[in-house]
């Protein structure tokens, strides 16, 4: 029986700038050398382990801040595993407004929503100098034929992304501005911790306008909420750096609970 191409028909590859020289920890070799234990473990693999598993399938690419990995509507040509840096995913609304769909960090897969489609469903743009593993569909097809666990891994990541998107849809539909911003900060903190970075002090690579684009808030509202959190002593702001000072209070704010000493429910 002929094997079905799960990625759909591939488009001609548009070359992007390869990373200059080997990356630290890059593992040369073939799919057979990828550790099988990586795909047998948790469905939410640590970023370093995921890269180790998929490294033989792709080519490292370097993207400057503001450079586009792919645009919505372009022919699907590859998946991208973000190795370092950060990327925002957006979609242009009919009225010309840019809807922010999410922010990808190291270890995140970009282009998953386009699997089986002929075109990309969203635009991905680097927020800073970023490195990504570019995996062509034909290489992925071969990998799936050799080791079905690769397919399980991708399905798990796709499921995780869908659950995350659903969570944000619920957040936008039910929470106040304070609750949305508190939830965003705690979510970002947790994602940094999973990647081995500090979850208590981190840089916001995205602008406040871009945060508002994700949360359905204006730039002014995001700024007011952050300033209010700082006045209450929950966070400390230094430019784009955020330090979480009172995590429990921030968690209560994310749930819409009244925080002792705050005087009122966030609004």
Alpha-carbon gap, residue 62 to 45, rounded angstroms: 23
Q: What is the pLDDT, as a whole number, of residue 51?
A: 66
Please identify, in words, the CATH class of the domain defined by 175-254: mainly alpha
Closest C-alpha to 222, from 233, 201, 237: 237
Tokens of 214: 């994700």
pLDDT at 93: 85
The token duo for 187 is 């979510």
| Mean pLDDT within 191-207 | 92
Residues linked to residue 104 through DSSP beta bridges, in sequence order = 87
Higher-confidence residue: 86 or 39?
86
Looking at the chain, the domain(s) classified CATH 2.60.120.10 span: 33-169
pLDDT bin (cut points 50, 70, 90) of residue 31 is very low
- Summarised one tens digit per residue, pLDDT across range 208-241 is 999 999 999 999 999 999 999 999 999 999 999 9
Which of 42, 10, 32 lies closest to 135, judged by CA?
Answer: 10
CA distance 262 to 267: 12
Residues of the chain with CATH 1.10.10.10: 175-254
Across residues 249-259, what is the average pLDDT?
83
CATH number of 33-169: 2.60.120.10
Q: Does the pLDDT value for residue 196 go beyond 60?
A: yes
Q: What percentage of residues in the chain have a pLDDT greater than 90? A: 48
Mean pLDDT, all residues of the chain = 77
Residues forming beta bridges with residue 236, ordered by sequence position: 243
Helices 177-194 and 219-231, axial angle in degrees (round to 10)? 80
Confidence of residue 170 (pLDDT cuts 50, 70, 90): low
Structural tokens at position 173: 């539909």
Residue 183 has pLDDT above 80, yes or no: yes
């Amino acid at each position: 029986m002929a094997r079905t191409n799960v990625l759909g028909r591939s488009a001609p590859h548009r070359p992007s700038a390869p990373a200059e020289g080997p990356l630290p920890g890059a593992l040369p070799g073939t799919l057979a050398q990828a550790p099988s234990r990586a795909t047998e473990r948790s469905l939410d693999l640590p970023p370093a382990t995921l890269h180790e598993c998929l490294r033989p399938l792709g080519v490292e690419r370097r993207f400057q801040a503001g450079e586009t990995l792919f645009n919505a509507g372009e022919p699907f040509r590859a998946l991208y595993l973000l190795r370092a840096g950060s990327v925002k995913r957006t979609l242009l609304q009919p009225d010309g407004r840019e809807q922010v769909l999410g922010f990808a960090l190291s270890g995140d897969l970009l282009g998953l929503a386009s699997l089986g489609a002929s075109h990309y469903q969203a635009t991905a743009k680097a927020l800073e100098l970023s490195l990504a593993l570019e995996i062509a569909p034909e290489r992925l097809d071969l990998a799936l034929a050799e080791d079905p666990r690769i397919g399980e891994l991708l399905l798990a990541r796709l499921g995780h992304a869908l659950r995350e998107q659903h969570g944000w849809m619920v957040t936008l539909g039910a929470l106040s501005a304070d609750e949305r911003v508190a939830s965003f900060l705690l979510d970002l903190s947790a994602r940094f911790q999973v990647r081995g970075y500090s979850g208590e002090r981190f840089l916001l690579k995205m602008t406040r306008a871009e945060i508002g684009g994700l949360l359905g808030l204006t730039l002014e509202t995001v700024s007011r909420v952050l300033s209010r959190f700082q006045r209450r002593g929950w966070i400390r702001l230094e430019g784009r750096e955020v330090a979480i000072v009172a995590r429990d209070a921030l968690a209560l704010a994310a749930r819409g609970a009244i925080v002792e000493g705050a005087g009122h429910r966030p609004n």
